Protein backbone atom coordinates (compact mmCIF):
# COMPACT_ATOMS: atom_id res chain seq x y z
CA UNK A 1 0.00 0.00 0.00
CA UNK A 2 1.42 3.37 -0.99
CA UNK A 3 2.41 5.85 1.66
CA UNK A 4 1.96 9.62 1.72
CA UNK A 5 5.06 11.69 1.06
CA UNK A 6 6.12 15.30 0.80
CA UNK A 7 7.88 15.07 -2.58
CA UNK A 8 5.28 17.20 -4.38
CA UNK A 9 5.31 19.79 -1.60
CA UNK A 10 9.10 19.93 -1.84
CA UNK A 11 8.99 20.33 -5.62
CA UNK A 12 6.31 22.99 -5.41
CA UNK A 13 8.12 25.03 -2.78
CA UNK A 14 11.61 24.60 -4.20
CA UNK A 15 14.04 26.24 -1.78
CA UNK A 16 11.37 28.52 -0.33
CA UNK A 17 10.98 27.21 3.23
CA UNK A 18 8.41 29.87 4.10
CA UNK A 19 6.14 28.72 1.25
CA UNK A 20 6.63 25.08 2.24
CA UNK A 21 5.67 25.91 5.82
CA UNK A 22 2.51 27.67 4.63
CA UNK A 23 1.46 24.66 2.55
CA UNK A 24 2.01 22.33 5.50
CA UNK A 25 0.13 24.67 7.84
CA UNK A 26 -2.83 24.73 5.46
CA UNK A 27 -2.78 20.93 5.18
CA UNK A 28 -2.70 20.54 8.95
CA UNK A 29 -5.64 22.91 9.35
CA UNK A 30 -7.84 21.89 6.43
CA UNK A 31 -7.39 18.11 6.31
CA UNK A 32 -9.02 17.35 9.69
CA UNK A 33 -11.86 19.78 8.93
CA UNK A 34 -12.55 18.23 5.53
CA UNK A 35 -12.40 14.70 6.93
CA UNK A 36 -14.82 15.60 9.72
CA UNK A 37 -17.22 17.13 7.22
CA UNK A 38 -17.00 14.00 5.04
CA UNK A 39 -17.64 11.76 8.07
CA UNK A 40 -20.69 13.81 9.07
CA UNK A 41 -22.16 13.48 5.59
CA UNK A 42 -21.53 9.73 5.55
CA UNK A 43 -23.05 9.20 8.99
CA UNK A 44 -26.13 11.15 7.86
CA UNK A 45 -26.22 9.17 4.60
CA UNK A 46 -25.99 12.38 2.59
CA UNK A 47 -24.07 10.75 -0.23
CA UNK A 48 -24.26 13.73 -2.59
CA UNK A 49 -22.48 16.01 -0.12
CA UNK A 50 -20.12 13.19 0.86
CA UNK A 51 -19.16 12.89 -2.81
CA UNK A 52 -18.41 16.62 -2.87
CA UNK A 53 -16.20 16.19 0.20
CA UNK A 54 -14.35 13.32 -1.45
CA UNK A 55 -13.83 15.54 -4.48
CA UNK A 56 -12.20 18.20 -2.30
CA UNK A 57 -10.10 15.61 -0.47
CA UNK A 58 -8.74 14.31 -3.78
CA UNK A 59 -6.66 17.48 -4.01
CA UNK A 60 -5.00 16.68 -0.69
CA UNK A 61 -4.46 13.10 -1.86
CA UNK A 62 -2.58 14.43 -4.88
CA UNK A 63 -0.52 16.86 -2.83
CA UNK A 64 0.60 13.96 -0.64
CA UNK A 65 1.75 11.94 -3.65
CA UNK A 66 -0.86 9.19 -3.43
CA UNK A 67 -1.39 8.44 -7.10
CA UNK A 68 -3.13 5.06 -6.75
CA UNK A 69 -5.22 6.34 -3.88
CA UNK A 70 -6.40 9.21 -6.06
CA UNK A 71 -8.01 6.72 -8.44
CA UNK A 72 -9.68 4.91 -5.54
CA UNK A 73 -11.05 8.24 -4.33
CA UNK A 74 -12.26 9.07 -7.82
CA UNK A 75 -14.12 5.78 -8.09
CA UNK A 76 -15.50 6.14 -4.56
CA UNK A 77 -16.75 9.63 -5.42
CA UNK A 78 -18.61 8.17 -8.41
CA UNK A 79 -20.03 5.41 -6.21
CA UNK A 80 -21.36 7.95 -3.72
CA UNK A 81 -23.07 9.82 -6.53
CA UNK A 82 -24.90 6.54 -7.22
CA UNK A 83 -25.76 6.17 -3.49
CA UNK A 84 -23.25 3.35 -3.07
CA UNK A 85 -20.64 3.19 -0.32
CA UNK A 86 -18.54 0.62 -2.18
CA UNK A 87 -14.85 1.44 -1.50
CA UNK A 88 -15.70 3.33 1.71
CA UNK A 89 -13.29 1.30 3.86
CA UNK A 90 -10.49 1.70 1.29
CA UNK A 91 -11.05 5.45 1.12
CA UNK A 92 -11.18 5.82 4.89
CA UNK A 93 -7.92 3.87 5.23
CA UNK A 94 -6.36 6.43 2.86
CA UNK A 95 -7.67 9.25 5.04
CA UNK A 96 -6.16 7.63 8.14
CA UNK A 97 -2.75 7.31 6.47
CA UNK A 98 -2.96 10.94 5.36
CA UNK A 99 -3.86 12.14 8.85
CA UNK A 100 -1.05 10.15 10.43
CA UNK A 101 1.47 11.49 7.91
CA UNK A 102 0.37 15.13 8.14
CA UNK A 103 0.68 14.92 11.94
CA UNK A 104 4.40 14.14 11.49
CA UNK A 105 5.13 17.12 9.24
- pLDDT per residue, tens digit, the chain (105 aa), is 789 999 999 998 998 999 999 999 999 999 999 999 999 999 999 999 999 999 999 999 999 999 999 999 999 999 999 999 999 999 999 999 999 999 999
The residue ranges of every structural domain in the chain are 7-104
| Cβ proximity of 74 and 40 under 8 Å | no
- Pairwise CA distance, residues 90 & 72, whole Å: 8
- Pairwise CA distance, residues 81 & 51, whole Å: 6
| Cβ proximity of 72 and 87 under 8 Å | yes
Amino acid sequence: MEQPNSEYINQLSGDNEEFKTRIITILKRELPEEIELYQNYISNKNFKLAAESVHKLKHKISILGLEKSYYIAEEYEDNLKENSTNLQSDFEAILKRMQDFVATL
